[in-house]
């Protein structure tokens, strides 16, 4: 049954990493609701599932990533009269990652204390309200290639806020992008690309305690979690970007509000 739990948590991670409903909140709530082992399925397992979604987004954006890697030697020319678009995008991703790195280092001991159902419920509701706001007031006309360094600092700060469970990395970056006038699908594309360095850094940081190996029997749990989150994550990112070309974030806002209300009710009556 432990392997089944690992597979289910991997599926939850794969779906919710890219859908703007917060993967960390769903993993916390799934363990709380079903009473699954907090030590076996703790933060390190969460990061292992994040590795699966990292593989998913790398596969999906492989051509973009390869173009940026090849363009790295030309980053120094991006402020010239004819900048290389891939080099410019690589620079934007580096700049946009800085806020999350700073916040992660400053608040490295705070994040674990925030991983509670009530914190998740609060942030689920607050970000839902942000969805309604950007849908109402965002122009939704700009494309990804119009982003400036100032824009990506704002989006990067939104990603840093996603260190708080329940915020959602994709939800925060999409909201910030739309607040700056980006189209929904363009905001999602940039947010997913921006998440690659952050997920990789988290995987390395949380994986350091495992450098001496896993306890007997736990390797299977991690492999199952990574595999299930990778497969489901790839399908989620592909379908979600397509969905955003024609639909709003409203359904996810209402879902977040309903889930937040359910968590509060469960917390009161449990």
Residue 79 confidence (pLDDT) above 80: yes
Backbone angles phi, psi at 182, to 5 degrees: -70, 150
Neighbours of 139 (CB within 10 A): 12
Residue 72's beta-bridge partner residues? none
Per-residue pLDDT reduced to its tens digit, 40-78: 555 567 677 878 889 999 999 999 999 999 999 988 888
Model confidence at 251, pLDDT cuts 50, 70, 90, reads very high
Residues shown for the chain: 270
* Of the candidates 171, 44, 163, the residue with the CA atom closest to the CA atom of residue 114: 163
Per-residue pLDDT reduced to its tens digit, 82-135: 788 999 999 999 999 999 988 888 876 666 678 788 898 999 999 999 999 999
Tell me the whole-structure pTM to 2 decimals.
0.88
């Amino acid at each position: 049954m432990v392997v089944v739990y690992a597979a289910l948590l991997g599926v939850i991670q794969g779906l919710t990493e890219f859908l703007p409903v917060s993967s960390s909140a769903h993993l916390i709530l799934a363990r709380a609701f079903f009473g699954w082992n907090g030590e076996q399925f703790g933060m390190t397992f969460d990061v292992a599932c994040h590795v699966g979604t990292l593989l998913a987004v790398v596969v999906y954006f492989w051509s973009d990533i390869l173009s940026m890697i090849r363009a790295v030697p030309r980053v120094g020319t991006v402020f010239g009269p004819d900048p290389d678009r891939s080099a410019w995008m690589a620079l934007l991703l580096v700049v946009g990652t800085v806020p999350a790195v700073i916040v992660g280092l400053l608040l490295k001991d705070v994040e674990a204390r925030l991983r509670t159902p009530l914190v998740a419920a609060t942030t689920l509701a607050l970000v839902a309200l942000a969805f309604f706001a950007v849908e109402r007031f965002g122009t939704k006309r700009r494309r990804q290639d119009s982003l400036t360094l100032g824009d990506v600092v704002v989006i990067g700060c939104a990603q840093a806020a996603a260190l708080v469970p329940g915020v959602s990395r994709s939800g925060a970056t999409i909201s910030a992008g739309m607040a700056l006038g980006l189209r929904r699908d363009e905001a999602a594309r940039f947010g997913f690309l921006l998440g690659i360095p952050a997920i990789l850094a988290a995987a390395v940081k949380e994986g350091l305690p495992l450098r001496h190996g896993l306890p007997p029997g736990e390797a299977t749990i991690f492999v199952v979690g990574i595999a299930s989150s990778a497969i489901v994550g790839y399908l989620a990112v592909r379908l979600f970007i397509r969905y955003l070309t024609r639909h709003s974030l409203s359904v996810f806002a209402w879902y977040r509000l309903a889930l937040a209300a359910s968590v509060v009710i469960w917390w009161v009556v449990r």
